[in-house]
Every structure is written in structure tokens, then in C-alpha cells.
Structure 1
């Protein structure tokens, strides 16, 4: 056995292949069967989407916890420590528990490989199996599960959810999910299960048509943001947050507050609240406005329009695809009208830089590009220059950050955005934390 402690457990997980040439659920199914099918007999809420799924997962878990439930949460990627990806009541899986779970996985994978030398699971399949077994062992009341990529062939899609949630559909991961919104929506619609409710955000018409048809075919009740429910901003809070009003056919909830900024977070809150209220109705539980307010106030989420400094105002936001950038630019224009905006941006090379750089350049008084650290997929200076050779580039992000801070006044706003890998590194720098490898 190679897994003996926390570091060797992480090393084992990261040694698994990132992708497999065959897109199916056979490998994760075989591994979970060997573990005794821990995904069975549990309650889940399953969340996918191009953007917003992490924030929605956090809001829903906070609402469920405020109700008094023991709630599991599965998200990716992590910001500081790997354990953040698997949590119960916001407490990450302890190191010792992670080691024990990975040892169990290693043993079962070895046994399966003895019977079939070609058998291999991916890194995400391994993490997914750890999550399912840990939540089963800890007997959570319900777990809120974020899809890795897509939905249809995502390794989390072996569960049957109480509610399936699709936050948004945009052009991202096209090499895996297809070139069109319809193709991507088909993958995301794969998490819908027959006769189980579906909650969706405001989607492009092409994507919404696919989701609507799938839900109808599977006789799954569908709630659409802007049609069956909605949330509206009532004011921006001076304490870094927003107040909103939510309504659906049965409820009108006023003076709700979230400690998150960004116009898009109002829409994420709408989806989260509809999901939570649907679950309460399923379980015949009462709607309590004080519980809802208490839950939403706990819904902080690092790296999502997060303030890390006041003077100058420094914000971290993991907008890493065209749709995310569009929402970020919209929020900047809304919140900081008339102020100088300094932008530091770093992305992965497989993202659509041609759609992301022009809107950033338009909204910024200063735009500086940098390289995502320690990632072979990071966009190179050459890739940036192919899109716009006039934008300044400093590959070393600490040097880039020093350059931009040297020319900033206390009234300016610095927004650091792009890949969450970059956000993680810079956030840890400001917080004085050490990131897991």
C-alpha cells in the first residue's frame, strides 16, 4: 500500500489520469460497486452549469444547514487546501478521514486491476468515490453535489437527485462537450432524472429548449428563473453585500441579504432559493423567513468577487470564460461607475481569449496580463499576443502585481481575475496561507 499519510494520499489522487479516452460511467460504477454502492440510499441535490454552480452550491448548503440538517458539500476546485472540496456543514474532511478513504480506494482499485489489468480510474473519479463513501460513512442528511464538467458523463452522475439544478449554459469546455450551446446543454441535461424536479437559471433560448424538452420527456417538473420564480436587487449593502427580494408562485420573501457582490449573484440566489424551497416542499417542511435570512448571510464564497483589501479596493474574481467575463464587466460598470479600474488577468490557454480580452480592455484604465502559475495549461505570452499584441504582459504574477500596485491610488479599484488557479495563488499571498500542491 502506497498511501500512508496525507501527502501520499494527495499524491495517489493526483497520480491518476486527468481524462480517459472513453466518456462513460463504467469505471466509476465499477469502483463504487466495489465499495458497496455508497451513493445509494442517500439524498442529493445535483448542480451543474457553465458558471454559478459553486455559488449556488454554497447558498443551498447554508440554507439547508440553517434548517438544522447535516449537509455534505462537494465542489471543485479548491482555493487553499484540497480538503475544501469535500465538506460537511462547511467543515472540510479531516486529513485522517481523507487518508482512510483513499486507502480504501487504493485497495479496491488494486483488486479491480488484478481482475482486469486495463482498469483505471481518473483523478476526478477517485475524488468522487472518496466523497460518496465519506458522506455515507458520516450519514449526512443530504449532500449538495457540484458536477465537474458537463453532466451526462460526469462521474457524479451515478446518483439520483432530489432536485437537479442547471445554473447557466455557455460556451466552455467545447473540446469535451461540443461546439454549440445546444450540444453543451445536452450534456448538462444529462443530470435530469425522471420524475425528479429541475430548477434552471436564465439560459440562452437554444439551451433552454434542450433542457425543457428533456424535462418534458422525463416527466420532471421544471422551474425556470424569470418564469416560475425571480429575484430582484433592492440595494447594495455598505458592508459588502446585496439585499434582494425573491418570489415564486407560493412565496414572496423580502429583505434577504447575501454577503456576495455581483449582479450575477442575485440570479444565483434566485436559483438557490427556488431549489431550497422545492426541497422543503418535498419534505413537507415549513418555510421560515428567519431561517432563510440566517442561512443566506452565511453564504460567503472565496474568489467570487471577493474583497481582500479596502484602500485601494482589491477584488478577486474567478471569471475564467467569456460568460463569466461578461458578468464581471457588467458588475464593474454597475458598482464602480466613474472610478479607475485596474485589471490583472491570467487564464488557461484552452479558454477563448479572443472573447475575453476585448471586454476587459474596454472596461479597464489599465490591463496587465500574467501567467497562471504552476499549470501546464496556462496561456502563454504568445497566445495573449496573438489576440492583442498591444496589451502589456508580465508572465511572473508577483512582479505583475507589484507593477500594478506601484501605480495605483487609494481611490482606484484593482480587480484580479481569470483562472481560479491564479486567484488561489494571489489570495493565499494576501492571506499569508500555504496552498496544497
Structure 2
């Protein structure tokens, strides 16, 4: 449908994976190093200070859009690679796998549907090595709650079910009922207040490791809703 409409309008079409895209990427500390194929040039070794393959693809779309605005495929030599590096190097994406605290690390992510949750789980595997990772999850009642929880189950050691301040939020105990069917009762806790839930998750993340020697290298992921992540960000004082 989109291709037909574009043709009828005489619009130029640019498709990720064909006219532009991500050629190579390597996860690193604080983000990823990416080589992009743009509409007019290749941009090597651009640092993107965001986590996850989906953010690299988002950046590829941004580069292609900037190229199109500046002349598209007719752009001789593409954009200035140093300008691209400087611009993408300053990108922020609040509550999108955003680390807002350390020791233990607290990561905020606004995933609220199965697709977003799968992307976040993939990013956790690639960019972090928390052991254990404790989830603080608050979802909206009208979302695909089972799909979200199933996506996160492989990466969360324990899920602390909570709720945000809106009337659309699923009550924490109802969320826990769904979670028990996916995680098992021994991996599910219920703490209705978000601030208390985060505090409980931090305690679990800081518990001694499985050998009982010292503090483990755990982390906390607050997720399940844009509002949940946003309220947590206000509580924790996100950096920007």
C-alpha cells in the first residue's frame, strides 16, 4: 500500500536494508559503534550512545532522513561524517534502556508491548551482564500483559509486580497472578507502590551471590509502561 501510494505521488522511496541501513555494529561501554550505509555515502565507526540493535536501526533512519532533506541520492559524498558522529554522539533517549543509577545499576525502559519487550530483552543480553537482573514491572490493564511478561521471562531472575499512579494501571496483585503462570510463584513478588517496589528490587539485586560470598553484580530493570518508566525516572532523578 505504501509503495503504491508513493508511486502515485511521485515520491522517492528509501527502504532500510536496500537503499540504506546498518552495515556493522558492535556493542560497547555506554552504547555501540556502528557503520551505516546512507543514501549518499557510508559512515564508518559512528558511536551511538544508546543500547540495542533497534537503536542502531533508528539512527540509520535518522541519517537517511537527513540525507533526503539535504538532497537524497543526489547528495555528492553524503553528509560530513564528522557532523554525523558529533550529532549522534549527543543523542539521548530517556527511559529507553537508560541507566539512571549505579551500584546496583537501575535501568529504565518504556517497553509496553511484546515487540518492545523482546527488543529490550535482546538489549539486556547484549549490553549488560547483571546477575541477577530484577524486574520492577507495572503495566496498563489494556495491554498484552502475557506477551510482555513472556518476552522478559528469560532475562529476569525475579519480577516485582507494581503499579503506576494512573487509573489504567493493572493492579499489582492482578499482574502478579499473570506473572505466576509465566515465572512461577517463587520468582514473583508484589509491592504495589512503585517507590517501595524499586527499593525491594535494589535489595534483591544487592543480595549476596549464589555462593554467599560478597555482593552480587545484580541490576534492576524498571519497565512495562511509558508511565511506569517516567514515574520511576522522576523518583530516581534521570540525568537529562
Give the TM-score category using the shorter length. 0.7 to 0.9
Correspondence 1:384 to 2:181: no
**How far has the Cα of 1:284 moved from its partner?**
6.6
Among 220, 224, 227, which residue is 1:418 paired with?
Answer: 224
| Alignment match, 2:205 | 408
C-alpha distance in structure 1 between counterparts of 2:173 and 2:105, whole Å? 31
CA contact (8 A) 1:245 1:255 kept: yes
C-alpha distance in structure 2 between counterparts of 1:398 and 1:266, whole Å? 32
Correspondence 1:257 to 2:63: no
CA contact (8 A) 1:322 1:355 kept: yes
SS in 2 for 1:254: strand
| Alignment match, 2:15 | 224
C-alpha distance in structure 1 between counterparts of 2:9 and 2:147, whole Å? 36
**TM-score by structure 2 length?**
0.83
CA contact (8 A) 2:130 2:219 kept: no
Change (3 A) 1:336 1:251: same
Among 360, 372, 394, which residue is 2:191 paired with?
Answer: 394
**How far has the Cα of 1:385 moved from its partner?**
4.5
**How far has the Cα of 1:337 moved from its partner?**
5.0
C-alpha distance in structure 2 between counterparts of 1:334 and 1:368, whole Å? 23
| Alignment match, 1:356 | 148
1:222-250 deviation line (CA, Å, top 9, x unaligned): 11111211114432232x11110001453
SS in 2 for 1:362: coil
Correspondence 1:303 to 2:95: yes
**How far has the Cα of 1:379 moved from its partner?**
1.3
| Alignment match, 1:111 | none
C-alpha distance in structure 1 between counterparts of 2:46 and 2:12, whole Å? 26
C-alpha distance in structure 1 between counterparts of 2:238 and 2:109, whole Å? 19
Change (3 A) 1:312 1:386: closer
Comparing 304-313 with 378-387, greater Cα deviation is found at: 378-387
C-alpha distance in structure 2 between counterparts of 1:427 and 1:385, whole Å? 23
**How far has the Cα of 1:351 moved from its partner?**
1.0
Number of residue-to-residue matches in the alignment: 222
Bigger CA radius of gyration: 1
Correspondence 1:269 to 2:75: no
| Alignment match, 1:292 | 84
1:125-150 deviation line (CA, Å, top 9, x unaligned): xxxxxxxxxxxxxxxxxxxxxxxxxx
| Alignment match, 1:243 | 33
Change (3 A) 1:263 1:220: same
Correspondence 1:214 to 2:11: no
SS in 2 for 1:260: coil
C-alpha distance in structure 2 between counterparts of 1:263 and 1:357, whole Å? 21
Gap runs ≥5 in structure 1: 1-209
Correspondence 1:280 to 2:70: yes
Structure 1 residue ranges (4+ consecutive) displaced by more than 6 angstroms after TM superposition:
283-286
SS in 2 for 1:388: helix
**How far has the Cα of 1:280 moved from its partner?**
1.1
C-alpha distance in structure 2 between counterparts of 1:394 and 1:216, whole Å? 54
Higher RCO (C-alpha 8 Å, min separation 6): 2
C-alpha distance in structure 2 between counterparts of 1:396 and 1:245, whole Å? 43
In the TM superposition, 1:125-204 aligns within 5 A as none
C-alpha distance in structure 1 between counterparts of 2:175 and 2:141, whole Å? 9
CA contact (8 A) 1:233 1:242 kept: no
CA contact (8 A) 1:320 1:420 kept: yes
**How far has the Cα of 1:407 moved from its partner?**
1.9
